[in-house]
Amino acid sequence: MINQEQAVVELRQVSKRFGNYEAIKDLNLSIRRGEFFSIVGPSGCGKTTTLKMIAGFDHATEGAVYLSGTSANHIPPYKRNVNTVFQNYALFPHMTVYDNVAYPLKLRKVPKNEIRSRVIESMKMVSMDPFLDRSPNQLSGGQKQRVALARALISKPEVLLLDEPLSALDFHLRQEMQRVLKHLQREVDITFVYITHDQGEALSLSDRIAVMKNGVLHQVGSPEEIYEMPQTSFVAGFIGKSNLIKGRMEGPTHFVSDAGLQAMTNEASDLSGEPHVYISVRPEKLRISKDDERYINRLSAVFVEETYYGADRELTFREAGGTHILMKQQKDDGNVKFSEGESVDLFFRPEDAVIVKEWGS
């Protein structure tokens, strides 16, 4: 009997060394059945290595990978109920689209009639059924990736691993394929483990996100948890934009920056003993008006420049410690113009100051 609560993929205390280089350090991850789970982090943080260990193409130096509760360390890739979609599609160029998608079922000697109906079903799911007789080189990048998805899903794996599948596509196609992927995942109800270095993509697609840097897992949580409550300075800076101000806690909710900024926070911090902590304040949380009495924290800064992004503007300031402060200009702040070097007070609420520990930023 399938236990819905059981992790479909679990990494327990996994380390991976290449020679003397430790690419993955003591990684613990638990991926739930049916979720869209993303692993995000900068180049070289260990995303692909993690995926390869789940697929069985690579092995942990220490620790173990479990698939549906069973240690998979000695199970070869082809016996794992896991498929992978790669960035470069990996379609067979000499076969038609039909034969590409049918290939996994032919290997398993599935009857021809069943193959035909399942190929058509899979190709319909990705809206590619009119293209069965084409050769892969007659398809666009987005179409190739749809075919690769159909091929990966046709054998109904428990887990689909996707290694930066959209990174070769241009911006608009990428957005369209993001929608395709999200709908497809809900429709087929297969666990997706999705790798990306694009934090926006991870936020918009995922049920949960793991953020990694230098082989170390920094945080796992829902997109909202990761964005609203980052736990480390790296997560705060990597997922969305953040103003990170360095200082120390002078009490559970009283922060003092190195440059003397005093700020109250809502959450009591257990980082009082730490020599360095940060508060993270998102650019959209800053105000230049103090009319609203909830905005009790004042940050004095000088204006540097304004950048226009179409839908909004970003103002850059510099606070006394030299840190650049970004503010997304809000409608109710009007379009106030500042001159370079002008002193400005910025305000934020205690609940908008998240205390994060210094870690790898």
Site for ligand ATP (CB under 6 A): which residue of 7, 10, 40, 46?
46
CA 240, chain centre distance (Å): 11
Q: Which is nearer to ligand ATP, 45 or 123 (CB)?
A: 45
What is the C-alpha to C-alpha distance for residues 149 and 170, in angstroms, rounded to an integer?
18
Task: Name the residue nearer to ligand ATP (CB basis): 49 or 242.
Answer: 49
Cα separation of 355 and 159, whole Å? 36
Q: Give all strands (DSSP E) within 208-335, no chain letters.
A: 208-213, 216-221, 243-251, 254-257, 262-264, 277-281, 297-308, 313-319, 324-328
**Can residue 165 be called a binding residue for ligand ATP (CB under 6 A)?**
no
Whose tokens are 């440059």? That residue is 259
Amino acid at residue number 46: G
Is 230 a binding residue for ligand ATP by CB under 6 A? The answer is no
Applying CB under 6 A, the span of 45-53, 122-130, 227-235, 302-310 interacting with ligand ATP comes to: 45-53
CB of 24 to ligand ATP, least distance (A): 8
**CB closer to ligand ATP, 115 vs 193:** 193
CA dist list (Å): 112 to 118, 131, 150 = 10, 19, 17
Judged by CB under 6 A, does residue 231 bind ligand ATP?
A: no
| Alpha-carbon span 301 to 25, nearest angstrom | 40
Pick between residue 46 and residue 157 the one whose CB is nearest to ligand ATP. 46
One character per residue 122-141, x = contact with ligand ATP (rule: CB under 6 A): --------------------
Task: Mark the segment that binds ligand ATP (CB under 6 A) among 2-10, 15-23, 28-36, 341-349.
Answer: 15-23
Dmax (CA) of the chain: 76
Question: Amino acid identity, residue 58?
Answer: D
Which stretch, 40-48, 94-102, 282-290, 303-311, contacts ligand ATP (CB under 6 A)?
40-48
Spatial contact of 256 and 250, defined as CB atoms under 8 Å apart: yes
The least CB distance from residue 184 to ligand ATP, in Å, is: 23
Length of the chain: 361
Q: In this complex, which beta carbon is closest to ligand ATP, that of residue 20 or of residue 137?
A: 20
Residue 47 makes contact with ligand ATP by CB under 6 A? yes
Which run of H or E residues covers position 83? Answer: strand 82-85
Encoded tokens for 23? 């690419």
Which of 25, 182, 197, 248 is in the footprint of ligand ATP by CB under 6 A?
197
Binding status of residue 20 toward ligand ATP by CB under 6 A: no
Closest CA to 103 of 114, 92, 89: 92
Based on the shown chain and the rule CB under 6 A, indicate whether residue 196 belongs to the binding site for ligand ATP. Answer: no
The CA R_g of the chain, rounded to the nearest whole Å, is 24
Q: Does 146 bind ligand ATP (CB under 6 A)?
A: no
Q: How many residues bind ligand ATP (CB under 6 A)?
A: 12
38 lines the binding site for ligand ATP (CB under 6 A): no
126 or 212: whose CB is closer to ligand ATP?
212
- CB neighbours (10 Å) of residue 32? 16
69 binds ligand ATP (CB under 6 A): no
Q: Nearest to residue 142, comparing CAs of 173, 107, 97? A: 173
Nearer to ligand ATP, 47 or 282 (CB): 47
- Name the residue nearer to ligand ATP (CB basis): 153 or 195: 195
Give me the residues that bind ligand ATP (CB under 6 A), please: 18, 21, 23, 41, 43-49, 197
